[in-house]
Structure 1
């Protein structure tokens, strides 16, 4: 992954915004971002490419493929994503396969394609999806109000392997919550390339 360039004004704005809402926990904040993301994702046609198809479109992007079908698929996906009709989501299995690519050049091109076609959106990790489905079932059967399950499975690339928050006893709990939410904002915007 390339280093992320921080915009000091955005970092400052994020800290100030979160200081103004100390009553919002990190879990509530993450859920609100996840639900907003779900609304955007669910408005589009979702395409899931497995490793084979990411390699196919990568080779087309690198002009390594003579396959007209591969070039046509890549052009179509790029056009549909650019127009806001489609999004090509990844999961942790695709991410792990990307990290296994030993050739730095092809890994960079694949990562750039994932950035472009996924717009930084991924499924939450499989164990988290299973736990979410079980919790959703239990809560819904107990008569509790629950979000639609399809709203709870999306996240951003930085969290493809799960959500982690910084934690330090050097800060009081309120300031630690501000740091966690500002850090989350920063990581939410990170792409591969």
Structure 2
């Protein structure tokens, strides 16, 4: 068993254990609300009840509140004090059970691999995505394995497995306590935001409808996915034939272009959007932003869209803020239906949804 196979086995084991739990995704605003409630600094009845029912659901084995790389990165912006970052992390440990979605690049690659495998071998030959996408908080940014070239292969593998298992059990509060000001995890989205707004302004009059904006965004999104899909197909061919194909640069470029076209036309078909849901949801959110021609991207939108994407694709509830709630539900794109996710921005609505999930049992 390779370290990659070991990692995959642990994730599948975790995913299977979580199947009986409904997933409630909280954006950073809600984690702060609940942190302040747990500390006694927020005392309104709705917040107290929300925290109570979430705790009750988690303790009863019926709920879990997973995090994502975007929550991890936003947590690093909080002051590293007992009442802020450390208190938030302790509450995350309690309600998330140490569970995070895998990083966005790995998630998109996993969906693409599963989609292509199911097309080739049938749905019965692939694991359900809910068994594949969950990991532990230490691996929210992706898997990282130590390598020591001077060690014999079997010793290096044993070291990698032990290291993986050690971090697999690590609590978020232990991880963030040593992050100082967290600057090493922050991404500067200021330049990206400025460039995106400039490009959108330049091409705003070319958009004729939301559907047109969706098509434009999808064509851009498959540029990256095409490379991933081409690598996956080459890997599949190598497994079937025992020989990995050697391609010239021209052949590789043709393969990538073919895969971009394949993914583009697949996602254009509504029946495929459940399988390629991450790509579809990301495209839909960005299309909604583009079609609202007066709306400008803000730096924090990139994290907000990350929250929305993992919540809408693989969670049962999404507790967020009003503007994002409006954006993801106002276009009639039926994003809530992708995984039956219910969205709330008010505390009262959030409480109603959580109570409903517990009542559904």
What SS does the corresponding residue of 2:48 show, helix, strand or coil? helix
Larger radius of gyration: 2
Query: Does 1 or 2 have the higher relative contact order (CA < 8 Å, sep 6+)?
Result: 1
Number of equivalenced pairs: 170
What SS does the corresponding residue of 1:47 show, helix, strand or coil? strand
| Alpha-carbon displacement from aligned partner over 1:80-104 (angstroms, at most 9, x marks no partner) | 1111111111111111111111252
- Structure-1 residue corresponding to 2:193: none
- Structure-2 residue corresponding to 1:116: 94
1:99 to 65, 76, 84: 76
| Alpha-carbon displacement from aligned partner over 1:64-118 (angstroms, at most 9, x marks no partner) | 1132111111111111111111111111111111111125221111000000000
Distance in 2 of aligned mates of 1:26 and 1:73 = 40
Question: Which segment drifts farther, 173-182 or 131-140?
Answer: 131-140
User: Given the two structures, how large is their TM-score scaled by the length of structure 2?
Assistant: 0.46
User: Given the two structures, how large is their TM-score scaled by the length of structure 1?
Assistant: 0.85
1:151 to 131, 135, 144: 131
- Structure-1 residue corresponding to 2:192: none
Distance in 1 of aligned mates of 2:30 and 2:154 = 46
Distance in 1 of aligned mates of 2:80 and 2:163 = 31
1:191 to 157, 167, 171: 171
- Structure-2 residue corresponding to 1:18: none
Kindly report structure 1 stretches of 4+ aligned residues shifted beyond 3 Å: none
Distance in 1 of aligned mates of 2:49 and 2:80 = 25
- Structure-1 residue corresponding to 2:154: 174
Please state how far the C-alpha of 1:136 moved relative to its aligned partner.
1.0
Q: Which structure has more helix as a fraction of its residues?
A: 2
What SS does the corresponding residue of 1:89 show, helix, strand or coil? coil
